[in-house]
Amino acid sequence: MSTEPSSSSSGGKEGSSASGPSSNKKNAKKPKYSKFSQQELPAWKPILTPGWVISTFAITGIIFIPLGLTSLFASENVVEFAFHYDQVCLPPDTNNAVAFIQNANTNKTCTRKWIVEKTMKSPVYVYYQLDNYYQNHRRYVKSRSDPQLAYRSAEDDTSNCNPESTTPQTPDNKGGKPIVPCGLIAWSLFNDTYKFSTKDKDLLVNKKNIAWKSDQSSKFGSDVYPKNFQAGGLIGGAKLNESIPLSEQEDLIVWMRTAALSTFRKLYGKIETDLEANDEIQLVIENNYNTYSFNGKKKLVLSTATWIGGKNEFLGLAYICIGGLSLAFSIVFILLYVLKPRPLGDPSYLSWNKNTGMIK
C-alpha cells in the first residue's frame, strides 16, 4: 500500500515532464492573438436589399448619361483635318518608293492646297501620325541609355544602344566614339517638316512647350549635348543641333516617349493664329521619313482642342452605354420587385449578428 502513492507520484512527474515539451511546441506555433489575424475588426457588412440595388443602378445612370452627353458634345466641337500624304507626295513616275526616299539627291518637297471647312480657333495643334510603326517593339524600346540622356558624366554608357552605340571603326582608328544620344529610338527620329501659309503670309509653327515638362527637367540633361549623332553611313532620321542641349530639343523629347500602339500621333507644334472658314492654306511638306520599307503610312493632322482634349467619341459613348445599361437594370429590377416580390430574410439570423463573439 505504501508503494502505490510513491509510484503514482513518480508517474505523475514523468507524465508532466513528457507532456511539457509537446505542449510548448504547440503553443509556439500558435499565432499571437489579434483582431486583425482573427478577422474580427469592425467592418461594414451591407445587405443588398432591392432598394439599395435599384438606387445604385439608377444613380449611376443619372450621373453617367449626362456626363457622356457632355463629353460627346465637347468632342463634336473639335475641328480636325487629316491629310494622308505618303503616297500623294511621291512623283507619279516613281516605281520604287524606297529608292526614291533614300536618295539624297531627289527633290522631296510636296506642295498641296487645303480649304478650311470650319473655323479653327487657336491654338491649332499640328501632329504627325504614323501607322504600322511599332515603337513598342521590345528591342526598339530597350535601345536607349537613360543615364546618358540625363548626365554628362554617363556619356560612355552605351551598353544598351546597339547597333547605334558608337561610331564605325575606321582604318586610322578614329572610330568607336560614343554616340549621344545613342540607340535606335533617337537614330530613327522623325524628320518630315511642314510649312503653312495663307494669303501670301506664313503661318508660324511654335515648337516650344510641346514636350512634357517632367521629361525636360528630369530625363534630359541641360548639360548634355549631341555628339557623333547620325555620323554613320546609314542615316535613320533627323539630325540634331550640337550647340543645343538635349533638354531643349523638344522634337527629340517628344519622339523618345515611345507609343504603346502601332498607330500613334505625336505633337509637331502649334499654330497660334485662328484659321477662318474658307481660308486657302498652302501646305509645304518635306517628305523625308522612310515608312515605305515597312508599308507604313504618314498623316499630317491639324486639330483644335476642348476641355476634354482632342476628338475622341469613345469616352462619351462609353459613359452613355454604361449609364443606359444601369438605368435599364434599375427598371427591370423595379418591375421584378413589383410584379414578383420576394420576402426578405431576417437579418438577425446572419452569422455576424447571431454570434455574440463577433464584433458587429
Q: What is the mean pLDDT of the chain?
A: 86
How many other β-carbons are positioned within 10 Å of the β-carbon of residue 331?
A: 14
Question: φ, ψ for residue 26 (rounded to 5)?
Answer: -65, -40
Residue 217 cell numbers, joined: 527637367
pLDDT of 5 above 50: no
Per DSSP, the residues of 202-224 read EE-EE-SS-S-HHHHHHTS-TT-
- Phi-psi map region of 174: left, alpha, beta (phi>0 left; psi -120 to 50 alpha): alpha
250 pLDDT tier (thresholds 50, 70, 90): very high
- The SS3 assignment for 270 reads strand
- The SS3 assignment for 129 reads strand
Between the alpha carbon of residue 198 and those of residues 15, 116, 120, 282, the distances in Å are 105, 11, 14, 6
- The SS3 assignment for 52 reads helix
Residue 247 cell numbers, joined: 533638354
pLDDT of 242 above 70: yes
Give the CA count within 13 Å in the CB-facing half-sphere of 97. Answer: 17
pLDDT of 184 above 80: yes
pLDDT at 12: 46
Rounded Cα distance, 197 and 209, in Å: 22
pLDDT at 103: 87
